[in-house]
Every structure is written in structure tokens, then in C-alpha cells.
Chains A and B, each alone.
Chain A
Amino acid sequence: MVSGLTARVRVVRDHFTLDVAVDVAPGEVVAVVGPNGAGKSTLLRALAGLEPVGAGRVVVDGVPLTDTDQGIAVPPHHRRIGVVFQDYLLFPHLTAAANVAFGLRAGGVGRAEATRRAQNWLDRVGLADLAAVRPGRLSGGQAQRVALARALAPDPRLLLLDEPLAALDARTRLQVRGELRRHLRDVAGATLVVTHDPVDAAVLADRLVVIEDGAVVQTGTPGEVARRPRTEYVARLVGLNLLAGTAEPAPEGRSGSRVRLGTAAPVVVPGRHAGPVYVSFRPAAVALYAEPPGGSPRNVWAGEVVGLEPAGEAVRVEVGTAQGPSVVAEVTPEAAADLDLVPGAPVWAVVKASEIEVYARG
């Protein structure tokens, strides 16, 4: 018997096609990350049986729940898939305890036993005192914990969470994220989290599946994805510059490689590479100069400032170069002032070869 989730789902809607494969092992937490409109929520609803699947298979713990070839489409209430919805959807007419007991009662558990187990779950998420309170009087963080307890109480085979932190304000979010991570670590079954926030994904998940325009573009541990982004979107998410090009090793006897980026001057990178590659580097690795830098630094691009925005203690500067790629640099506010960086100002961007990460593309 294969445990956990094995799914391949194709949903066609109007001008949008979602076609992704996802596997989640028992005890594993996988985050599906992608921009709005990438199809994350559609995937989640398809797995839960709330969205008809055009073609595909969804198998949980060896039980086929959807199989379009064999005409299997188990209705949502027979799937035993717990869902924490984006705005939690706690039943407003029921107390927190009755919300948590709802799935148990639906599963045939007696009233007294269901109440007792619901109380246990509220204890586990630290809300024992709020059992008799209705959802309207819970804070966002409390509602989220009740929703988690409600989804877990009927002992689901698979737990799905749709943007579990999106409804929270920034301050509670930080705290709730840590708690949620702790609770998800305790879940024995497979867990799939859908989020557009890379930090949420990195904190909550063991593995990321990045989807864009209805297709998987990258998978890996949060560390792998953060170090070696494969699309513009992921690079922006993790705050890296990402350029695609073609590498050729330096001539015999010399180290490094040259990477051609369209019409722009080639980038010199460490290591020997050949063929299509991605080149990525941190914005902080980009130095800016108001005049052509002296000496002979490699990887110099002349360009102009396109935009500036604060980023923590630093300032992020987007530099558009004439023939080269557009790069983001991160400099101190003092440097930004010294260099007189305003939109339109001419600027020279320099990246040290040793700061550049190169990896195969495609």
C-alpha cells in the first residue's frame, strides 16, 4: 500500500488549464507556492473533491479518490480530507467546541464522546477556555487554531491548508506561524499547504512545489529553491537576481566560464560550465558606482536607476542597463545618498564573479 498523497490533476476552466502532479509522504508537509491566479486554490479544491477534475488521479493512503479513467469521483464527504480554509469558514452559529465536534458527529461519534474529544483538541491548540465562544468573538489567530482543530478532529487521511496565515495581521502572523509549524509537525498524515508567501512556505514546509500558470515550475527543499531559483517569480520571491544564459568554459589553462545573456556583454563566473544555465546573485553582491569603476573589474554594466525602495535597513535599487540585463542592487542608505541615486541617474553596476551562483537550466 502506498501511503500519503499521490495526485495528478488536470482542470480546464475557461482560458486556464491547471495540470500538476504532487506527491506528499505521510508526516511530510509540502507547500504549494505560486502567484495569485496560478491555480493553487483550484488544486486544493480538486484534491478535496470540491472541484470537478477533467483528467487525473488522486490517491490517498492507497485509496483512489479520483480516477477519471475508471470513473471514480468520491464525493467530498467520503474523502476524509481535512481542509483549513483561507478565512477558516467556522460555522458562525456554533460554539468553538461544536465546530470542532462537527466532523466527529458527522462521522457517527456520540454527542458526549464528540464533546469530550473536541475539548481535548481545543486543549491541544491552547484554547480550552474558549470552548463555549462563538467564532464571531474569536481573534484571527484563535479562529485559525479552531479551524485547524476542527479539520484534524475527524482524523483525516490528508490535511489541506489554504493560505492559513493570509487572514492574519503582520504581528499575530509571526507568532501563529511558529505555532502552526509546531502543530503540523505533529500531524501523522500527509499535509499540503497552499500559500503565496515564501516565508510561510519556508517555515511551514519540508518541501516546496512552485506552480505558475497552472504548471509545476520547480520543486525542492526551501533551501534548494531559495539558493537556485528557476523562474523570475521564484527569484523575486527569495530576493535574488536571476538571469538565463548560455555558458562556455574559458579557454584551456584559464579558470572560470563566460555566460552569454542575449546581446549583452558576457558574465564571467567561477567554475566550468557549458550549455544553458541560470545565473543568480544576491542584490547585496551588486556594487554601484556613479562613475566608470577604475581598474579592470569584470561584470560591469552601465545603466540607469529605474526605481528605489526601502528594504529593511537597506535600499533596493533597480538598475536598467542598456544592452545588459536589469539587476537589483542593495546598498546602504548612506551609499544611496552619496551616489545621488534618483530615478534616471546614470550608474555602473559591478558583480564579483565569486558571488555568482551558476546552475544548469532545463
Chain B
Amino acid sequence: MLAVPALVALVFLVLPLVGLVVRAPWRQAPQVLTSPDALAALRLSVLTATASTGIAVVLGVPLAWWLARPGLRFASLLRAVITVPLVLPPVVGGVALFTVLGRSGLLGRPLYEATGFAFPFTPYAVVLAQTFVALPYLVLAVEGALRGADRRFEDAAATLGASPLRTFLRVTLPLVGPGIAAGAVLAWARALGEFGATITFAGNFPGTTQTMPLAVYLALETDPGAALLLSVALLAVSVAVLAALRDRWTRAW
């Protein structure tokens, strides 16, 4: 009896992807995918997603380490706060970033008055918007890895004379390396696909803030065939990410 809904669910998940590949006007592929706008969008997407992932790793791993410490007070509250951007509609995230880093935002106004620089509608805004939505994925993935790791290795390192920083760099980080890698891939995929926060906070300017998802959306109104081809390109990237993560997701929990 359960086979019927199960099968429906499977078809529902797979069929649209099949449709994407089947209906894409492959003949136009070389022309569409090598057009200056598409290449610029792809380049911007890859660069900003990578930058966001870099920031997420540098800031997120220490945060995860701190969260995973035994006996941390208010740990569950902190974890909830970190999870909010995960469940928040990205458009709301974009608006929220505006209130802080917009030209007249809490931090944005002093910054603009002091330097004449404002984040919105720049590639930096794209990076910030993507980091905002991607960081929680990385933190939660790394925190899980840290919780699963045997902390007594840190004791062993300490008795050998290693300072807490050396222990973190030489023992803790390598031990949770796979967890960090998985978290980074997840964060990268999330950053690559970000739409709502980006278009709200960074706008949609070809060459400076128009990432692939924005290009797909725009193309759908003018050239549906091109939108299909750009979507297939994003699908290919997603599948590659899944392949990179397959060990993690197929492991029995």
C-alpha cells in the first residue's frame, strides 16, 4: 500500500529534472552558454559562492567549535539563533541585511559617511547575502562532526605540551576535516543557488550582481530556451556536489 505514495514521491522529485534535460534546446547550447551575459553570470556565481564559502569556513568553524564545547551555557538557545537564517525566507534575509548594511542601515550609514562606500548593489553584497544563508549549514555540519569526534584526543595533545591553539590546528581540525569539507560543499551549493536574499540586497545588474539563479529567472521572461539551458548548467553543478558528498549521505546513521 505504501508503495504507491512512495512511487509518486519519487516521480515527483525526478520527473522535473528529467523534463529539464529533455526539453532543453541542446542545439542552442554552445551559443547560449558562451554568451557574454551567461559567462559573466556563471563566473560571478562561482566566484561569489566560493568567497562566501571561504568566509563561512573561517568564521563558522570556530563558532561550531565553541558551540560543541561541553557545558556551554545557553547552547540550545544559541543553536536556535543560528538556525533562524536556515528557515527564514531568503527575501526576508535580504531585507534584514538592508536594515544593517544598507546605505542608511545601522552599520551601513556610519560606513558610508566615513568612506563613501555602501554594500548594496555590489558584488560584495552578493557575497554577504550568500554568506548569510550558507553559514548556518556549515556551522551545523561542523558542529555535528565535532560532537561526534573523541575529545580525549585533545586531552592527549595537551599532555604532550600542545597549547589549546596548536591542539585545535593540529588535532581537532584534521580529525573533523571530512565534516568541514562536507559542510563547505553544502554551504557552497547553498550559496550558489541563493536567489531571494541576493536580489533583494544586491539587485540584479548583469556583470556585477547578476548570478546564475538571477540570470535564469530573467531569461525565463525573454528566452525560455536559454533559461532551460542555464538551469541544466546549474543542475550539472548540483549533481557534481552530490557526487562529492555521496560518501557522507549514503553512510548508515
B171 cross-chain contacts in A, Cβ below 8 A: 91
> Which of A45, A75, A76, A80 is packed against the most chain B CB atoms within 10 Å?
A76
Q: Which residue of A lies closest to B171 (CB)?
A: A91
**B193 vs chain A, min Cβ distance (A):** 33
Does B163 contact A77, Cβ atoms closer than 8 Å?
Answer: yes
At the interface, yes or no: A4 with Cβ under 8 Å from chain B? no
> Which of B150, B156, B164 is packed against the most chain A CB atoms within 10 Å?
B156
Given contacts A89-B152, A93-B174, contact A106 B159 (CB under 8 A): no
At the interface, yes or no: B69 with Cβ under 8 Å from chain A? no
Q: Which residue of B lies closest to A147 (CB)?
A: B156
**B160 vs chain A, min Cβ distance (A):** 4
Does B174 contact A106, Cβ atoms closer than 8 Å?
Answer: no
Residues A51-88 near B (CB distance < 8 A): 75-83, 85
At the interface, yes or no: A103 with Cβ under 8 Å from chain B? yes
Roughly how many angstroms separate A154 CA and B161 CA in the complex, as a whole number? 8
Residues B157-216 near A (CB distance < 8 A): 157-164, 166-167, 170-171, 174-175, 177
At the interface, yes or no: B113 with Cβ under 8 Å from chain A? no
A149-161 interface code vs B (CB 8 A; 1 in, 0 out): 0110010000000
Given contacts A89-B152, A91-B153, contact A75 B175 (CB under 8 A): no
Roughly how many angstroms separate A78 CA and B155 CA in the complex, as a whole number? 13
Given contacts A91-B171, A92-B175, contact A50 B160 (CB under 8 A): no
A91 cross-chain contacts in B, Cβ below 8 A: 153, 156-157, 171, 174-175
> Which of A92, A93, A154 is packed against the most chain B CB atoms within 10 Å?
A93
**B164 vs chain A, min Cβ distance (A):** 7
Name A residues whose Cβ lies closer than 8 Å to a Cβ of B.
Answer: 45, 48-50, 75-83, 85, 89, 91-93, 102-103, 106-107, 150-151, 154
Does B158 contact A77, Cβ atoms closer than 8 Å?
Answer: yes
Chain B contributes a number of interface residues (CB within 8 A of A) equal to 20
B177 cross-chain contacts in A, Cβ below 8 A: 93
A89 cross-chain contacts in B, Cβ below 8 A: 150, 152-153, 155-156
Q: How many A-B residue pairs have CB under 8 A?
A: 66
Name B residues whose Cβ lies closer than 8 Å to a Cβ of A.
Answer: 150, 152-153, 155-164, 166-167, 170-171, 174-175, 177
Does B152 contact A77, Cβ atoms closer than 8 Å?
Answer: no
11 pairs, CB–CB < 8 Å, chain A vs chain B: A48-B155, A50-B159, A77-B159, A78-B161, A82-B160, A89-B153, A89-B156, A93-B174, A93-B177, A103-B160, A103-B162
Q: Which residue of A lies closest to B164 (CB)?
A: A77
> Which of A77, A81, A85 is packed against the most chain B CB atoms within 10 Å?
A77
Roughly how many angstroms separate A85 CA and B152 CA in the complex, as a whole number? 9
A150 cross-chain contacts in B, Cβ below 8 A: 160
Does A102 contact B155, Cβ atoms closer than 8 Å?
Answer: no
Q: Which residue of B lies closest to A87 (CB)?
A: B152
Given contacts A77-B164, A102-B170, contact A93 B158 (CB under 8 A): no
Query: Which 9 interchain pairs have the tightest Cβ spacing?
Result: A103-B160, A76-B158, A106-B162, A89-B156, A106-B161, A83-B159, A93-B174, A77-B158, A107-B161
Roughly how many angstroms separate A45 CA and B170 CA in the complex, as a whole number? 22
B164 cross-chain contacts in A, Cβ below 8 A: 77
**A353 vs chain B, min Cβ distance (A):** 53
Roughly how many angstroms separate A150 CA and B156 CA in the complex, as a whole number? 10
Q: Which residue of B lies closest to A108 (CB)?
A: B161
Q: Which residue of B lies closest to A107 (CB)?
A: B161
**A87 vs chain B, min Cβ distance (A):** 9
Q: Which residue of B lies closest to A81 (CB)?
A: B159
Does A102 contact B162, Cβ atoms closer than 8 Å?
Answer: yes
**B180 vs chain A, min Cβ distance (A):** 13
Roughly how many angstroms separate A78 CA and B166 CA in the complex, as a whole number? 13
> A103 is contacted by which of B150, B153, B161 (Cβ under 8 Å)?
B161
**A311 vs chain B, min Cβ distance (A):** 37
Given contacts A76-B155, A91-B153, A106-B166, contact A154 B174 (CB under 8 A): no
**A85 vs chain B, min Cβ distance (A):** 6
**B204 vs chain A, min Cβ distance (A):** 45
